[in-house]
Each structure stands twice: as C-alpha cells, then as structure tokens.
Structure 1
Amino acid sequence: MYRYAALLRGIAPSLPNMTNDKLRGVFEGLGLDGVGSVLASGNIVFRSAESDVPALEVRIQRALADELGIPGGTILRELAELRTLLDSDPFPGLTHGRGTYLTATFLKDGAVAAVELPEQPDPLTRVVGYDAAARVFLAVIDNSDPGRTPDFMSWLDKTYGKNITTRTWLTVQRIVRKLES
C-alpha cells in the first residue's frame, strides 16, 4: 500500500465546495484509504494500492471537477519521495519565518523541468535548486512585501502553468508527519 499526498492547486477554503470535509469525501468516494487533510489549503493524504501516479492524478482531478467543480491541478507525491526530500535538508541553517518563506514548488508528473533556470536579478528570491527525484523547485522567498510577486514565482507560472503548486517548507514537513502517523 502506497502513502500519498495530493497537493491540490487553487484551493480556497472560504469557498463552500473547497472545504476539507468535501475534499476528503471525494477521495473516500474513490475508494482511497486513510484519507486525511493537512491544513485548509488543499493537502490531502491517503493510501492506495495504485502505483500509476499519472493515472491516479487524472482520476482524482476528474472526480474533483465532476463532484465539486474544482478545475485546478492535482499533484501527487508518495511518502518515500517526500521523506527523501526532507532528509536531504535543502535549506541548511535557514528558518522559515514571517518575511522569509522556504518554498517547494512541485511539478506535475510528466512536466519536464527547464534545463536552465532564469537569471536571478530579483532580490526577492534565492533559488536553492531543483530536486529531480521529487520534481520540485526549492527557493527562499523574501515575503516582507506582500504586494510584490517575486520574478521567479512569475517565471514558474509562465513556464509550467497549472502543472505546478507551491507549498511552504513547514507545510511539506506537516504533510510528511501526517503521512507517517
């Protein structure tokens, strides 16, 4: 049995069809086991014997669209991938804080990472790198000015569209704890 995290794109918990209980209900309706939620921002954990991740992503996304009208993307990661990512300690000595966000931007299975990252003229972002095994860009974002979007985040959106979703490092840690419990 595989343990997965579904990282759902575009979830706004204030909308009636995007509450954790409704999201969990869709996953349970698909026959997935041990369904739980982490925070209220579209992080669902579950167990499944299915190992075809792209097919499972499509099945989940189709059910979310059909049952709740949620058009966003579904990105899955297996516990082992996330645990290896955490254990690699990609942010050594750094702390996630109010003005400095440690972020992980996950690519959907099948999305190919750019060979070259954009130049870093943006003082709001320090790209730590790309972890190919977990298919994730890692960056430190200066979030002290909430009115500005860092150029790197804009580049990610333009390059990958709906084939990405970003989580803070703290959220990734919480997801792994929930999957391991």
Structure 2
Amino acid sequence: MYRYAALLRGIAPSVPNMTNDKLRGVFDGLGFEHVRSVLASGNIVFHSTANDVPKLERRIQRTLHSELGIAGGTIIREHDELRALLNSDPFPGLTHGRGTYLTATFLRDGATTSGMLPKSPDPLTRIVGYDKAARVFLAVIDNGQPGQSPDFMAWLDKTYGKDITTRTWLTVQRIVKKLES
C-alpha cells in the first residue's frame, strides 16, 4: 500500500463544490483508503495499491472535473518523497512567517524543466534550490515590503502553466505529519 498526497491546484474552499468533504468524497468514490484532508486548500492524503503516479493524477483529475467541475491540476507525491524533502532541511535556520514565506512549488511529472531557475526572477524572491527527487522548486518570498508584491508566482505560472502548484513549507510539514499518523 502506497501513501500519497494529492496537491490540488485552484481550490477555493468558499466554493461549494471545493469543500474538503466533497473532495474527500471523490477520493473515497475512487476506492482509495484512509482519505483525509489537510487544511482547506486542496491537500488530500490517501492510501492506494496503485503505483503509476501519472495515471493516478489523470484519473483523479478527470473525476474531480466530471463530478465537481474542478478544472485545476492534480499533482501527487508519495510519502517517502515528501519525507526525504523534509529531512533534507532546504531552509536551514529560516522560519516561515507573515513577512517571509518559505515555499515549495511542485511540478507535475513530465513538466519540462532543467531544474534551474534564474538567479533573481524577482527582487523579493530568493531561490533556495531545486530538489530533483521531489520535483520541487524551493524559494523564500519576502512579503514584508509595504506596497510591493512579489512577481515570482506569476513567473512560475507563466513558465509552467497548470503543471505546478505551490504550498508553504508549513503546509508541506502538515501533509507529511498527516501521512504519518
């Protein structure tokens, strides 16, 4: 049995068809086990005997679209990939906070990337690195400058489209904790 996290793109919990109970219902209906949500932002953990991640992503996305009208993307990571990412401590000595966001941008399997980002895609963003095993860009975003807004997320969307989804480092930690409970 594999333990997975589904990172759903474009979830707005205030939209009736995007609530955690409806999302969990889709995963339960697909026959997955131990289905649980993490926060209210499109993070579902589940167990499955299936081991073809791209096939799982397509199956889940088709069902989310047909049953709930959700057209966003589905990106799946296996527990061991996420645990190894946490263990690598890519943000040593840094703390996620209101002014400084530690972020992890996950790429769908098959998304085109060299694994490299420009040194400074945005003056309010510091690239920490790219974890090839977890297929994730890691960055620190300065949200503490009054009247200034980072353009890093817009750059990522323009470059990778719907083949990505971003989570705060705290959310990644919560997802792994839920997978391990």
Does the TM-score normalized on the shorter chain lie above 0.5? Answer: yes
Structure 1 residues 62-81: aligned runs within 5 Å? 62-81=62-81
Distance 2:42 2:85 in 1: 20
Question: Which segment drifts farther, 26-35 or 142-151?
Answer: 142-151
- How do 1:6-17 and structure 2 match up within 5 A? 6-17=6-17
SS of the residue aligned with 1:150? coil
Give the deviation of 1:116 after TM superposition: 3.9
Aligned mates of 1:145, 1:25 — CA distance in 2:
41
1:38 aligned partner = 38
Tell me how far 1:114 sits from its aligned partner: 3.2
The residue correspondences of 1:1-150 to structure 2 (distance < 5 A) are 1-114=1-114, 116-120=116-120, 122-145=122-145, 148-150=148-150
Write the distance in 1 (CA, Å) between the matches of 2:132 and 2:21. 33
CA contact (8 A) 2:36 2:46 kept: yes
Report the equivalent of 1:173: 173
In 2, the alpha carbon distance for the partners of 1:104 and 1:146 equals 24
**Contact 1:118–1:152 under 8 Å retained in 2:** no
Letter of the 1:6 counterpart: A
Q: Which secondary structure does the structure 2 equivalent of 1:97 belong to?
A: coil
Q: CA deviation at 1:146?
A: 7.8
Q: Which runs of 5+ in 1 are unaligned?
A: none
Amino acid at match of 2:14: S
Deviations 1:75-124 (A, max 9, x none): 00000000000000000000000100000000001112235422416321
Q: CA contact under 8 A between 1:35 and 1:44: conserved in structure 2?
A: yes
TM-score (norm 2): 0.96
The code of the aligned residue for 1:18 comes to M
Indicate conservation of the 8 Å contact 2:121/2:155, yes or no. Answer: no
Q: 1:133 to 1:121 in 2, by over 3 A?
A: closer
**Aligned pair in 2 of structure 1 residues 78, 147: CA closer, same or farther (>3 Å)?**
farther
Measure the CA separation in 2 of the matches of 1:180 and 1:58.
25
Percent identity of the aligned residues? 79
Whole-Å separation in 1 of the counterparts to 2:79 and 2:146: 32
The residue matched to 1:101 in structure 2 has which SS? strand
